[in-house]
Structure 1
Amino acid sequence: MTAAEPIPLHGGRHSDRTVGHGPPGFEEFFREYWPMVRRYLVWLEAELSVLDDAAQMTMVSAYTYWGRVSRMDQPRGWLFKVAGQRLQDAREARRRNGMPTETETLHAQLAHPDPIAVSDQRLDILAATRKLPRRQQEAVALREQFGLPYKEIAQIMGAAPATVRAHVHQARQTLKEMLGDETQEGADA
């Protein structure tokens, strides 16, 4: 993508705006972190329009606070925290507007193959993860998808590392019960 190409928004589609008009460094930041934010949100929400809204709002927040965000050594923790908040905002907006909030499987939602949706087993894990309590969803997604250390997850979630470990452990146990041991091989390693 060059500076003259549009920013990919809403599920990979492009906006009418072109990149390069924003603050220095934001284009590179967007390219690096947009896919990561979406991958995180896919673990938490099946409805693509909701997760795309949350991802877009997250990047708008990063743009709004670019002066602070651009000075962070590791902004991903901030992004994950904001993404979780924006997901809640997007869900609330849907409820307020009388739109359905029930999530469906990604099989029905995906128009194009996505790296996350390649295997049926992965889809089953994602669907099961979305049935977990919210804090367990967040903890297991950050640990399993991104391999973050418990201490960093604790900072993102505003919880003690021991609490995060308990959330991850309980989530893994519940997922094993829901899916059977074969789908979680290696998850406890």
Structure 2
Amino acid sequence: MGPLIPNGVIPYEWNSIIAIIIGIAFGFVLEASGFSSSRKLAGVFYGYDFAVLKVFFTAALVALIGILYMDYLGYIDMSKLYVHPTYLWGAIIGGAVMGIGFVAGGFCPGTSLCAVAIGKIDAIIYVIGIMIGVFIFSELYILFQPIYEGYFEGNITLMDSLGVNRYWFVFIFTIIAIIAFIVSDIIRKKQKKIFY
């Protein structure tokens, strides 16, 4: 983890404490937004609540525009940012497993911990399941390693893999977000007519 505050302003040792404070604030915002509710989270898959889709689409877009703007102004150098390596098979299989778990349990790993913090029994069982899965994966890593490290693509971004100029990518991503918001509102209104 890089320094959260420029060196010299606050001692480096405070980074962990600041990270914990940010984590608590993030958990509070998740809970206040209702994201500790499995019904709200699973609603995106059943067509009656698209808050998760809108929040995460908006967060991704704001972060993307913010990073590009800061790079444009010279405050950060995007070429120095860490990009997690892409292992295609691991991403596809892991995404499928998490997606199935999300639909079945109604939580993603982050929101499940938020729900555990307020004592939700279903979230506690969900997190125990995550821990069991992590334990099995770590113990059988030798068996899973060829799949986990299969089709290494390097440290690439979505912009790199699509071969699109980053500013065009932001424009296209924004259009996709707007279309997703409009379509989700249409679906939600149709669902309301069916159930009410």
TM-score, L = length of structure 2: 0.28
Which of the pair is proportionally richer in helix?
Answer: 2
**Larger relative contact order (Cα-Cα within 8 Å, sequence gap ≥ 6):** 2
Normalised to the residue count of structure 1, the TM-score between the two structures is 0.28
